[in-house]
A and B are shown apart, each in its own frame.
Chain A
Amino acid sequence: MARRAAPEVNAGSMADIAFLLLIFFLVTTTIETDSGISRKLPPPQEDNVEPPILKQKNIFVVEVNKNNDLLVEEAPMELGELREAAMKFLDNGGGTGEDKCDYCQGDRDPSSSDNPTKAVISLRNNRETNYATYIAVQNELVAAYTTLRNREAQRLFGKSFEQMEKDLKDVNYPGNKEALKEDIKKIQFLFPEKLSEAEPRK
């Protein structure tokens, strides 16, 4: 009986397949990067500088006390409502004359902020406040600004502010980057991020 062994499978191309897979994974995997909320701290102040005078109605006080309760304009609030409240305050546009805001879509309540360029959100926290709570509040306030900027960018340039920033970082962006930078600046001027943080109280 002639017993022939089965022919060996040709493994010569295996290496090619392996390299193909290797290159596929090399291209598709992104190395995990850290991400988080970016903020800019105010520069150190000299002692003799007078703080600028702000109208009380242009300040939106957000306070987190030591029991991690949220107080907005001295009234308790749930975290879920904070974004809406902050947007309502920023977008109010109650000013007249020089402070008139033509792009605001708010209630134009004269007792709330005059103009988004004047409106300041003041965030106060206690030394005992939990960091996670603080981040949650920061997140909501940044979200309020981003939502308003998106709306304005959509109206003026037909795409969201986040998309514009993404385009600015994109190397393959076909359009004019200088013009894009100007547009971003314009939006940032209309809705400046005026988030002031007081030194935590004892």
Chain B
Amino acid sequence: MSKFKKKKSGELPAISTASLPDIVFMLLFFFMVATVMRQNTLMIENKLPYADQIEKLDKKNLVMYIYAGKPSSRYRTSAGSQPRIQLNDKFAAVEDIKAFILAERASKREEEVPYLTTALKVDGDTNMGLVGDIKKELRDVEALKINYTTRQGDAAQNFQ
């Protein structure tokens, strides 16, 4: 009789946690792969403009980054509110660009040097005067391949 009695008030069976490590590792690996490490801590505002005629920058080790924009609020007292250039982790003057490019070149293998590209990550709300100065310096050191880094989108969004 009791053979056919269904168990009703038994304890809940324990959920096996044996696979928990696997799931955790899976997530860990996923995030390890998907996260992009920031090379530089940004000290400036960097809202890139929009464009749609864009090319991808492959080969990350062959890209030199020059940032420009207004200092972010933390640094405004020390660096002022005018747009500034940032190289690596510190503010720089226009004249420092040459030294920066030469240092970057020296750190690369000789055969890679002709493929070096300079990515200009400039805040949309910057005057062209500063960008023009940067370009002039780049021309002087013959770093002629440049890329205006933008976000993908319609160019008309730049006016909003």
Are the CB atoms of A36 and B148 closer together than 8 Å? Answer: yes
Main secondary structure of the interface of A (DSSP, over half): mixed
Total contacts A to B, CB within 8 angstroms? 182
User: Please, how many residues of chain B have a CB less than 8 angstroms from a CB on the other chain?
Assistant: 64
Are the CB atoms of B51 and A136 closer together than 8 Å? Answer: yes
- Residue in chain B with minimal CB distance to A25: B30
Binary per-residue interface labels of chain A (115-157) against chain B in the complex, 1 for a CB within 8 Å, 0 otherwise: 0000000000111111111111011101100100000000000
Alpha-carbon separation in the docked complex, A39 to B22 (Å): 47
Q: How large is the interface on A (under 10, 10 to 19, 20 to 34, 35 or more residues)?
A: 35 or more
- Residue in chain A with minimal CB distance to B10: A3
Are the CB atoms of B57 and A128 closer together than 8 Å? Answer: no
Q: Is A179 close to B, CB under 8 A?
A: no
| Selected contact of B16 from candidates A11, A32, A36, A146, CB within 8 Å | A11
Main secondary structure of the interface of B (DSSP, over half): mixed
Q: Is A35 close to B, CB under 8 A?
A: yes
- Residue in chain A with minimal CB distance to B15: A9
Contacts of B19 in A (CB 8 A): 11, 14-15, 18
Contacts of A39 in B (CB 8 A): 146-148
Are the CB atoms of A131 and B51 closer together than 8 Å? Answer: no
Given the known interface contacts A36-B55, A40-B146, the answer about A18 and B22 at a Cβ–Cβ threshold of 8 Å is yes
Contacts of B128 in A (CB 8 A): 125-131, 134, 200
